[in-house]
Chains A and B, each alone.
Chain A
Amino acid sequence: GAVVSQHPSWVICKSGTSVKIECRSLDFQATTMFWYRQFPKQSLMLMATSNEGSKATYEQGVEKDKFLINHASLTLSTLTVTSAHPEDSSFYICSAQGQGHQPQHFGDGTRLSIL
């Protein structure tokens, strides 16, 4: 089955630093990738949708200058949390979708803790 790898799985960093999370589709070409945020015991909230080679489309209320998304290739998308602060601490999950009406495949998520 289709595999999506997310890295790192857990990161702890100091307030004010920038953190990059990678999402890779290992055995298929992902024309679309989605980034979600999940607070403890809450639902997944879609942050943005990215199509390969295009600028990401952000959901209302998501700061695009805070959460930089790059989808430069058909197998890799990155989410960079810039100047991270404790309120950015959360669980971030990516999913990848192949061309056409293909299923979304989720990564295992990244736990981000900002001290």
Chain B
Amino acid sequence: AQTVTQSQPEMSVQEAETVTLSCTYDTSESDYYLFWYKQPPSRQMILVIRQEAYKQQNATENRFSVNFQKAAKSFSLKISDSQLGDAAMYFCAQTTDSWGKFQFGAGTQVVVTP
């Protein structure tokens, strides 16, 4: 069985600062994929970043980057130069099927203060 754990219900960050969201996962599969999704108040699910477990290099998308520690089963998200528009719920997710059947974590609410 797969599990995804996000232990931070809420994180607060000032504009232009950096915040790191933690995520740990558990799987018995050797092939899997990890994701971070953003859900703003509109509740639309927006893909932030995707990481293939077989790739050692950490994925990066502009101000968003991950720290993927495979042995520790850790997949944290760093948001640099935080902007007001980054305020949202962030979900960590895992799948063994490239893009299918996600197992989501409980989510972390990011609050950005001016």
Give chain A's interface residues, CB within 8 Å of chain B: 32, 34, 38, 41-46, 49, 91, 93, 95, 97, 101-104, 106, 108-109
Contact = CB atoms under 8 A, between A and B. Distances in A.
Contact of B100 (A41, A42, A43, A97): A97
A31 to B, nearest CB: 11
Contacts of A109: 43-44
Contact of A43 (B44, B98, B101, B104): B104
B28 interface: no
Interface residues of B, number: 16
Of B98, B99, B103, B107, the most chain A CB neighbours within 10 A belong to B99
B99 A43 contact: no
B106 A91 contact: no
B91 interface: yes
Where chain B touches its partner, the secondary structure class is: loop
A36 B37 CA distance: 14
B106 A103 contact: no
Contacts of A44: 45, 91, 102, 104
Contact of B102 (A38, A91, A104): A104
Contacts of B106: 42-43
Contacts of A103: 47, 99
B98 A42 contact: no
A46 B44 contact: no
Contacts of A46: 101-103
A15 B107 CA distance: 31
Interface string B79-114: 000000000000100000011111111110000000
B105 A43 contact: yes
Nearest to A9: B43
B42 interface: yes
25 contacts: A32-B100, A34-B101, A34-B102, A41-B107, A42-B106, A42-B107, A43-B107, A44-B102, A44-B104, A45-B104, A46-B102, A49-B101, A91-B43, A93-B45, A97-B99, A97-B100, A101-B98, A101-B99, A103-B99, A104-B102, A106-B44, A108-B43, A108-B44, A109-B43, A109-B44
